[in-house]
Amino acid sequence: MSANPNCLPPSIFPKPGEEVVYFSKNKIIEGKLLGYDIYEKPVIINQFDFPDSTNSFEIIRAKYPNNRIGPNWERLPESGIVEAAPTDLADMITKKLEERIPPGPNYMELIQEFYYRGYETYLVGGTVRDFIQGEKSNDIDLVTTMPLKWALPLIKSMFNDKFSYARQHGYIRIGGTPASGDPFIDVKNFSLSNAGYGTSLFGSELADDFKIRDFACNAIYYEPINKLLIDPSGSGIGDARAKKLSIVRDLNIHAAHYSSAQILVRFVKFAARGYTPTDQTLVELRANFCPLFSTMDNASRIEYVRRQILSKSPLDQRILVYENFVQSMIGLGFEYEYEQFIKPYESYLNLN
Q: What pLDDT digit, counting tens, does each position of 323-341 carry?
A: 999 999 999 999 999 999 9
Domain boundaries along the sequence of the chain: 5-68, 69-254, 256-352
Q: How far apart are CA 187 and CA 192, in angstroms?
A: 16
Q: What is the average pLDDT score of the chain?
A: 90
Confidence of residue 5 (pLDDT cuts 50, 70, 90): very low
197/156: higher pLDDT: 156
> What pLDDT sits at residue 291?
92
Q: Which of 167-176, 247-256, 286-295 has the lowest mean pLDDT?
A: 247-256
Lowest mean pLDDT of 2-11, 24-33, 179-188, name the range. Answer: 2-11
Q: What is the pLDDT of residues 226-246, one digit of tens each?
A: 999 999 999 999 999 999 999
Question: Do the strands 42-46 and 27-36 form a parallel or antiparallel pair, or are they unpaired?
Answer: antiparallel
Report, as an integer, the average pLDDT of 256-273. 89
Where does residue 274 rank: exposed (0-12), middle (13-18), buried (19+ CB within 10 A)?
A: exposed
Could you tell me the pLDDT band of residue 60, with boundaries at 50, 70 and 90? very high
Q: What is the CATH number of domain 69-254?
A: 3.30.460.10
**Is 200:37 a contact under the CB 8 Å cutoff?**
yes
Burial of 188 (0-12, 13-18, 19+ CB in 10 A): buried
For residue 350, report the phi and psi dihedrals to the nearest 5 degrees: 55, 55
* Region at 278 (left for phi over 0; alpha for psi -120 to 50; beta for the rest): beta
The pairing of beta strand 276-277 with beta strand 244-245: parallel
Across the range 276-280, mean pLDDT stands at 95
pLDDT digits (tens, 9 = 90+) for 119-149: 999 999 999 999 999 988 777 899 999 999 8
* pLDDT for res 3: 42
CA-closest candidate to residue 215, choices 189, 254, 244: 244
pLDDT at 6 exceeding the cut of 60: no
pLDDT computed for residue 18 by the predictor: 94
Instruction: Report pLDDT for 254.
Output: 57
Tell me if the pTM is above 0.85: yes
pLDDT at position 4, please? 47
Is a pLDDT exceeding 50 seen at residue 251? Answer: yes
Given a cut of 90, is residue 103 above it in pLDDT? Answer: no
Nearest to 136 by CA among 148, 147, 127: 127
Output the pLDDT for position 40: 87
What percent of the chain stands above pLDDT 70?
95
Helix or strand run (H / E) with residue 35: strand 27-36
Q: Which class is domain 5-68?
A: mainly beta
Predicted pLDDT of residue 347? 93
**Residue 1's pLDDT is what?**
37
pLDDT digits (tens, 9 = 90+) for 161-218: 888 898 888 889 988 766 666 777 889 999 887 766 777 888 888 888 899 899 999 9
